[in-house]
């Protein structure tokens, strides 16, 4: 049954569900990557703040 489906319509079903899963997983991971990058930037800012206005 499943083999029939893959043989006949695997291309169409694969590209539909595949795109959905890739895009949704990608969006989820991108949000995490973006968060890490923002936090790293904010940590750098905080570090510079702690060293006074001249950034020393």
- List residues binding another protein (CB under 8 A): 1-2, 4-5, 8-9, 12-13, 15-17, 19-20, 23-24, 27-28, 31-32, 34-35, 38-39, 41-43, 45-47, 49-50
Query: Shortest distance, CB of residue 52 to another protein, whole angstroms?
Result: 13
Least spacing, CB of residue 51 vs another protein, in Å: 9
Distance CA 22, CA 28 (A): 10
Alpha helices (runs of H) in the chain, residue ranges in sequence order? 2-50
């Amino acid at each position: 049954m499943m083999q029939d489906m893959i043989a006949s319509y695997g291309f169409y079903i694969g590209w539909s569900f595949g795109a959905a899963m890739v895009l949704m997983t990608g969006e989820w991971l991108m949000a995490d990557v973006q968060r890490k990058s923002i936090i790293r930037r904010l940590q750098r800012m905080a570090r510079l703040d702690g060293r006074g206005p001249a950034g020393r």
